[in-house]
Amino acid sequence: MIEASLPDAADVGAPEAVTDGIHLLVDALRLNDIRNIYGVVGIPITDVARLAQASGIRFIGFRHESDAGHAAAAAGFLTQYPGICLTVSAPGFLNGLVALANATTNCFPMVQISGSSERHLVDLQRGDYEEMDQLAAARPFCKAAYRVQRAEDIGRGLARALRTAASGRPGGVYLDIPAAVLGEVIPASQGAASLWKLVDPAPRQLPDPAAVDRAIELLAGAERPLVVLGKGAAYARADEQIREFVESTGLPYIPMSMAKGLLPDDHPQSAATTRSQALKRADVVLLLGARLNWLLGHGDSPQWNASAKFVQVDIAATEMDSNQPIAAPLVGDIGSVMNALLERAKPGQITVPTLWREELSTRSAQNIAKMAVRLEAAATALPMKFLGALQAIRNVLADNPQAYVVNEGANALDLARNTIGMQVPRHRLDSGTWGVMGIGMGYAIAAAVETGDPVVAIEGDSAFGFSGMEIEAICRYNLSIVTVVLNNSGVYKGDAPAVGGDPAPTVLRARHEVMITAFGGKGYRATTPDEVASALREALAARAPALIDCIIDPSDGTKSGNIAHLNPKGITVQH
């Protein structure tokens, strides 16, 4: 409610107390349990941020809207409730839209609330300040887009946005609020009556018992069954049921990268160390919150057994058959589906043939032995290799299992994913479904803000550059984030020679540890694995912003990491 002394209230000469769009928005956010807003202020939303902060909502101010949006998306993933990103009109909105689209692709719930310019000017294209039809621009990039046209609809608009983002397959929702609506004054009683709190934002969706039985029969008849855990399973927070099902059946499983830690990576049933063999040979595959997209080779042979049958558990019915025939679709939320599977499978009905178990463990032992040779060679090599730095990081993280790991890059992503085991669910956030760069600092900030636990962001030097300025935000809010830059002086590699006097397109040069000192954080430069380990231990113990620039051999790294095959074939370009 606006205090009587405010000019707006006086202007309308209201006989009773009044409120306005800004107050209604903040009241609606508070009513719906929003604790944090991630954004960048400016016209027309600065006072939304100010009032939110004054009302007890934490406002985390960023340097770029994409980073704020990525933070909101990560907050959504970590809390199972939409994260909120606040942006200004046109350019700020568009910057945030990148993150909204990325969140939608990853099935993370978030709401981007953006101020926008005056409708009567925008719609006639009269050339308003930051003129843009944001609603139309947002629509193709998110799950849904809504616009509020009257202050009395702000509560409704927010409820609709939160509901859409959180329920069914989670995703990003855009909520457009023109400046005039934020400034619109209405009676306080009318405003209060227009707000409501969502009941059960993401209702459970129970599977059909017949579909559950079909899935059980298929799994029971398998000779080489396999479970693939995806980030949908991590998001669903059905940790206990998933563990009980996997352990009671003995099924081998592989985790997708953000599902790592759902069961500890050193679990005896993990087939992660024999992933290729498991995919190539499995005859019945249970997909738990994982899509058969490019990250799983679309389910196509030769990566997969051509006659493999799929059981897919997903909240989105339309996901079924998107790539391969799904022999047993199980539509529902993963918690309810796991409960049903546990209830309806008879004891001993689903088992794992010994031959399959042995095949996997033999191959796994071979792969571990091969990897051990690589790791040993890298452990002490100088100049430092990716795997040298990563082993040092791995050893420190093993003593800090509660730390959140954010990871992006090409080689930095591939090698860290395989080297660093996770022990706890939802503690790894990475480039995700698009394989994007630029999520690093946003995700790290959200993890620190939402959980209060320490965060280690393992970044390729190129990836870090996209959101690197947020180091300032990390220092400003004194967040417990240690950014570890694996700096091989370039995109993929940093050893390409200059051409025509200019650096090669893949070359980068930076002393990242110097950067953080400008904002009051602690910088480390590490040239050996021992230096990496001691810097990381010290930085984690300090629980304060730090950046460790790890100097990696510029010749270490491969073009595009393990997805080099996605580059166009054509004629090889040398530099």
Answer for the pair 430, 408: CB distance below 8 angstroms, yes or no: yes
Minimum Å distance from CB 243 to ligand ADP? Answer: 16
* Residue 502 β-bridge partners: 499
Reduced to 3 states (helix: H, G, I; strand: E, B; else coil), residue 391 is helix
Member of 433, 462, 467, 489 binding ligand ADP (CB under 6 A): 433
Quick one: 156 or 169, whose CB is closer to ligand ADP?
169
Quick one: 155 or 409, whose CB is closer to ligand ADP?
409
Name the nearest CA neighbour of 244 among 266, 222, 269, 224.
269
Minimum Å distance from CB 108 to ligand ADP? Answer: 9
Quick one: 84 or 334, whose CB is closer to ligand ADP?
334
Minimum Å distance from CB 421 to ligand ADP? Answer: 17
Member of 94, 137, 220, 295 binding ligand ADP (CB under 6 A): 295
Quick one: 271 or 535, whose CB is closer to ligand ADP?
271
Stretch that binds ligand ADP, among 32-40, 284-292, 344-352, 456-464 (CB under 6 A): 284-292
Minimum Å distance from CB 194 to ligand ADP? Answer: 31
How many Cβ atoms sit within 10 Å of the Cβ of residue 283?
Answer: 16
| Residue number of the CB atom closest to ligand ADP | 232
Terminal Cα-to-Cα distance of the chain (whole angstroms): 63
Quick one: 51 or 229, whose CB is closer to ligand ADP?
229
Give the total of residues touching ligand ADP (CB under 6 A): 24
**408 lines the binding site for ligand ADP (CB under 6 A):** no
Q: Which of residues 150-179 bind ligand ADP (CB under 6 A)?
A: 169-170
Separation CA 25–CA 81 (nearest Å)? 18
Quick one: 123 or 321, whose CB is closer to ligand ADP?
321
Member of 78, 290, 389, 526 binding ligand ADP (CB under 6 A): 290
- Token pair of 533 as six digits: 């380990």
CA 360 to chain centre: 31
SS3 letters across 70-110: HHHHHHHHHHCCCEEEEECCCHHHHHHHHHHHHHHHHCCCE
Minimum Å distance from CB 230 to ligand ADP? Answer: 3
**212 lines the binding site for ligand ADP (CB under 6 A):** no
Member of 47, 67, 333, 461 binding ligand ADP (CB under 6 A): 333
Separation CA 172–CA 101 (nearest Å)? 7
Member of 291, 309, 427, 428 binding ligand ADP (CB under 6 A): 291
Quick one: 24 or 107, whose CB is closer to ligand ADP?
107
Answer for the pair 24, 195: CB distance below 8 angstroms, yes or no: yes
Long-range contacts of 262-267 (CB under 8 A, 24+ apart): 262/229, 262/233, 262/234, 262/425, 262/426, 263/229, 264/421, 264/422, 264/423, 265/421, 265/422, 265/423, 266/421
Instruction: Classify the C-alpha dihedral 324-328-333-339 as positive or negative.
Output: negative
**267 lines the binding site for ligand ADP (CB under 6 A):** no
Quick one: 25 or 110, whose CB is closer to ligand ADP?
110
* Residue 228 β-bridge partners: 254, 287
CA 418 to chain centre: 18
Minimum Å distance from CB 403 to ligand ADP? Answer: 21
Minimum Å distance from CB 332 to ligand ADP? Answer: 7
Measured CA distances, 444 to 99, 393, 468 (Å): 14, 17, 11
Element (H, E) at 61: strand 58-61
Q: With 0-12 CB in 10 A as exposed, 13-18 as middle and 19+ as buried, what is 292?
A: buried
Stretch that binds ligand ADP, among 242-250, 310-318, 448-456, 553-561 (CB under 6 A): 310-318
Member of 47, 128, 314, 414 binding ligand ADP (CB under 6 A): 314
Separation CA 409–CA 574 (nearest Å)? 22
Long-range contacts of 243-249 (CB under 8 A, 24+ apart): 244/338, 244/342, 245/338, 245/341, 245/342, 248/342, 249/219, 249/345, 249/350, 249/351, 249/352
Stretch that binds ligand ADP, among 216-224, 229-237, 461-469, 541-549 (CB under 6 A): 229-237
Q: Tokens 């070359």 label which residue?
A: 507
**107 lines the binding site for ligand ADP (CB under 6 A):** yes
**239 lines the binding site for ligand ADP (CB under 6 A):** no
Q: How many helices (H) and strands (E) does the chain have?
A: 23, 19
**316 lines the binding site for ligand ADP (CB under 6 A):** yes
Quick one: 290 or 387, whose CB is closer to ligand ADP?
290
Separation CA 428–CA 403 (nearest Å)? 9
Minimum Å distance from CB 291 to ligand ADP? Answer: 3
Stretch that binds ligand ADP, among 123-131, 227-235, 537-545, 556-564 (CB under 6 A): 227-235
**289 lines the binding site for ligand ADP (CB under 6 A):** yes
Reduced to 3 states (helix: H, G, I; strand: E, B; else coil), residue 20 is strand
Answer for the pair 16, 187: CB distance below 8 angstroms, yes or no: yes
Member of 62, 93, 146, 235 binding ligand ADP (CB under 6 A): 235
Minimum Å distance from CB 256 to ligand ADP? Answer: 3
**232 lines the binding site for ligand ADP (CB under 6 A):** yes
**76 lines the binding site for ligand ADP (CB under 6 A):** no
**403 lines the binding site for ligand ADP (CB under 6 A):** no
**334 lines the binding site for ligand ADP (CB under 6 A):** yes
**457 lines the binding site for ligand ADP (CB under 6 A):** no
Stretch that binds ligand ADP, among 120-128, 289-297, 454-462, 490-498 (CB under 6 A): 289-297
Answer for the pair 172, 104: CB distance below 8 angstroms, yes or no: yes
Instruction: Count CA atoms closer than 13 A to 308's CA, side-chain side.
Output: 29
Stretch that binds ligand ADP, among 32-40, 255-263, 489-497, 501-509 (CB under 6 A): 255-263
Q: Tokens 């702000």 label which residue?
A: 154
**513 lines the binding site for ligand ADP (CB under 6 A):** no
Chain residues that interact with ligand ADP, rule: CB under 6 A:
106-107, 169-170, 230-232, 235-236, 256, 258-259, 289-291, 293, 295, 314-316, 319, 333-334, 433
